[in-house]
Chains A and B, each alone.
Chain A
Amino acid sequence: AIQMTQSPSSLSASVGDRVTITCRASQGIRNDLGWYQQKPGKAPKLLIYAASHLQSGVPSSFSGSGSGTEFTLTISSLQPDDFATYYCLQDYNYPWTFGQGTKVEIK
């Protein structure tokens, strides 16, 4: 199975900060990667698909980049509603695998 290594596992940031989260795949996965946001007690929400495509309705402050084995989720200006846990997911092949998650907390 492809392993997804996500970093950092947590970070503290202030409103307005630029935040970057990274996922590394154990083998090349083209651009078959999505980013999800999850808030406590809620289902995950798709932010980015195919590594860099913004899901409809998601603020343009979110962006994704990368291909092959290295991927990045960037929040250009952190807003109060963005404090949550973020996960990457490789859908290159089964079994799909998630990163371990990054909890973004208020500084």
Chain B
Amino acid sequence: EVQMLESGGGLVQPGGSLRLSCAASGFTFSSYAMSWVRQSPGKGLEWVSAISGSGGSTYYADSVKGRFAISRDNSKNTLYLQMNNLRAEDTAVYYCAKEAYSDAGPDSWGQGTLVTVSS
């Protein structure tokens, strides 16, 4: 069974940093691209970032480019999102998600972790 468990969320002040982790199991982690998708309270879904299976290619939404960094450790089956210079508008539930097949959208999601940016 495919499972993903996010961690690392919490309350952080504007301008602060946070690193999210996503521990994956039940599939060959290195064979799949992974994404982060967020959802602000009461709002819709927003794709944030993606990384190829090897980690050699990364992609970002304009809203986080230059502030967030996605990475993965295939030896640990873990996905990361380093978030720097956080803003109030980054407040959201952050989901990690596994691509369905090559270059396709996600077919499996974690339960999400809440990030709150507030003073």
Measuring CB to CB, which residues of chain A are less than 8 angstroms from any residue of chain B? 1, 32, 34, 36, 38, 43-46, 49-50, 55, 87, 89, 91, 94-101
Contact = CB atoms under 8 A, between A and B. Distances in A.
Interface in B64-119: 95, 100, 103-112
Contacts of A36: 45
A44 B45 contact: yes
A103 to B, nearest CB: 10
B47 A100 contact: no
Contact size class for B? Answer: 20 to 34
Interface of B: 35, 37, 44-47, 50, 59-62, 95, 100, 103-112
B44 A95 contact: no
5 contacts: A34-B106, A46-B100, A89-B47, A91-B103, A96-B105
Contact of B104 (A1, A45, A50, A101): A50
Nearest to A9: B44
